[in-house]
Amino acid sequence: MYRILIVEDDRVIAKQIENRISSWGYEVKCVEDFQNVFVDFGAFDPHLVLMDISLPFYNGYHWCSEIRKVSKIPILFISSAPDNMNIVMAINMGGDDFIAKPFDLEVLTAKIQALLRRSYDFTAHNNLLEHRGAVLNTNDTTLTYHSAKLDLTKNDYRILLTLMENKGKVISRETLMVKLWESDEYIDENTLTVNMTRLRRKLESIGLDDFITTKKGIGYIIE
């Protein structure tokens, strides 16, 4: 089932779109906190985004640019200003298509179906894990937080992947060491400590303080 995220602050329009495309069997979520659209994007991990241009706090161009830092999923702009400048800007910012308000819901549905068909017949969907606004992209092993992006080493990525896949659970040091080195050979525990310290410094450098919590004598947790 394809997931579609609607970023539209007019609740009447958003509800009409939601009802229409839900009836086609799509899973739909409407953004409600327009100051933190990227958090909903990471948590919902949609296959397609419907993006209004005029939004509270930040416009649709801003959020399209943020999404493009971590994902190539199709973005369909919707706007009440269908002039050439807005259409050109939407495409230049990374949008895949544009539809002007007021629009026919059948035309909108057809555009959505065409974008999904073109995008997923030939390309794999980005897998994203989100926590506290930080998005781990499992396709290119990067971590994005607001406007900052970290290129992760193999060990950085394996640590974050293991912890983010098990949010709220304590992961033992032994489990992490197996994940990192995939070997039955003895590895000095100090090696894991060094890797963890280095990763935490990287996270702090982009504003993610205390992202990973140590449970003394047990292991680590993202909570």
Helices (H), the chain: 11-22, 37-44, 60-68, 84-92, 105-122, 154-165, 173-181, 189-205
pTM reported for the whole predicted model: 0.61
CA–CA separation, 47 and 68 (whole Å): 13
Q: Where are the domains of the chain?
A: 3-122, 128-221
What token pair was written down for 217? Answer: 């004598």
Count each helix (H run) and each strand (E run) in the chain, helices first.
8, 12
CA–CA separation, 60 and 31 (whole Å): 12
Any residues with CB less than 8 A from the CB of 146 and at least 6 apart, and which?
38, 66, 133, 206, 207
Rg (CA), the chain: 20
The CATH number for 128-221, chosen from 1.10.3470.10, 1.20.120.720, 1.10.10.10, 1.10.150.120, is 1.10.10.10
CA–CA separation, 131 and 134 (whole Å): 5
Q: Residue 162 above 50 pLDDT?
A: yes
For 3-122, CATH gives 3.40.50.2300
Any residues with CB less than 8 A from the CB of 103 and at least 6 apart, and which?
78
Residue 103 is predicted with a pLDDT of 82
Of the pLDDT bands very low, low, confident and very high (cuts 50, 70, 90), residue 184 is very low
CA–CA separation, 60 and 51 (whole Å): 6
104 phi, psi to nearest 5 deg = -80, 130
99-155 residue pLDDT tens? 888 888 888 888 888 888 888 764 444 578 888 888 898 888 899 988 788 989 988
